[in-house]
A and B are shown apart, each in its own frame.
With several copies, the nearest count.
Chain A
Amino acid sequence: MEVPILKQGDYLIASIQSALTDADLSQLRESLVERVGRNRARGVIVDVTALDVMDSFAVRTLRDLAHTTWLRGAETVIVGIQPEVAFSMVQLGLTLKGVATALDLEEGLLFLDERMKGHRRRG
């Protein structure tokens, strides 16, 4: 199950369409990191609206993805975590600390636009 990655201006947008295996998720991470370099992207959006569960492997992979793209000069924002998924993540003790989040694709784009404007300050 390959996740489509779209380029939109300075950003890459990966929209997860269905449940992913661990291998799919790792693959997504690698593709995005590679594409950040190839497309000289400055922002990455991973849309997880379609994910109905997020376990410790998924969280670790998304965290690693955000940190790796960061080291390559691009900011990642995770969008579309569903309320019930957020609920179960918090119960599991999984927090995505240090990773930017936004409600949905639209908010994610706004967030990146704001970050790119002027200086990209960091937490």
Chain B
Amino acid sequence: MADDIKITIKSDVDVVDARRRGRELAAQLDFSAGDQAVVAAAISEVARNILSYAGHGEVLLHVMEDAERPGIRIVARDRGPGIADIARAMRDGYSTSGGLGLGLPGARRLMDEFQIVSSPKRGTTVTMKVWRRRRG
């Protein structure tokens, strides 16, 4: 598991593939069923955004084993038009495409860490991290 899993996103089949791979990884790391679904949903949102707003890009999945419990780092990046106003894009219900506008803010809620870097020249990179939770 040393290497990143890289999924090229250029059609909606790739979005399905990315979330399936994310779920499998979460299952391997013994995430709970709920958290497997959470990982898959977050990947689905950022991968679809690549397709909708940038046309193509990639999703990278990486296992983090340096902390107390294992985690997954998800990077979604594209060289699309960028996000003009990130604060606004992070707001519940804000969408430039008639979507629900819950993708980014929802993914942020799902993940332990969440970061967006975006500029009109270099496109958009969303980085999210999630660790296996202690069983309650």
Binding site for B on A (CB under 8 A): 19-23, 26-27, 30, 52-57, 59-60, 82-85, 87-89, 91-94
Q: What's the minimum C-beta distance from A93 to chain B, rounded to whole angstroms? A: 5
Contacts of A26 in B (CB 8 A): 136
With A21-B16, A88-B37, A92-B109 as known contacts, state yes or no: A59 contacts B100, CB within 8 Å: yes
With A87-B38, A92-B102 as known contacts, state yes or no: A23 contacts B45, CB within 8 Å: no
Contact assessment for A93 and B106 in the assembled complex, using a CB-CB cutoff below 8 Å: yes
Q: What are 18 A-B contacts defined by CB distance under 8 Å?
A: A20-B16, A21-B15, A23-B136, A26-B136, A54-B41, A55-B19, A55-B48, A55-B103, A56-B99, A84-B36, A88-B37, A88-B110, A91-B41, A92-B106, A92-B110, A93-B102, A94-B102, A94-B106
- Over the window 11-35 of chain B, the binary record of Cβ atoms lying under 8 Å from chain A Cβ atoms (1 yes, 0 no) is 0110110011001000000001110
Contact assessment for B41 and A19 in the assembled complex, using a CB-CB cutoff below 8 Å: no
Q: B124 an interface residue at 8 Å Cβ cutoff?
A: no
Q: What's the minimum C-beta distance from B47 to chain A, rounded to whole angstroms? A: 9
With A21-B13, A22-B15 as known contacts, state yes or no: A56 contacts B33, CB within 8 Å: no
Q: What's the minimum C-beta distance from B96 to chain A, rounded to whole angstroms? A: 14
Which B residues between 39 and 78 are near A, CB-CB below 8 angstroms? Answer: 40-41, 44-45, 48
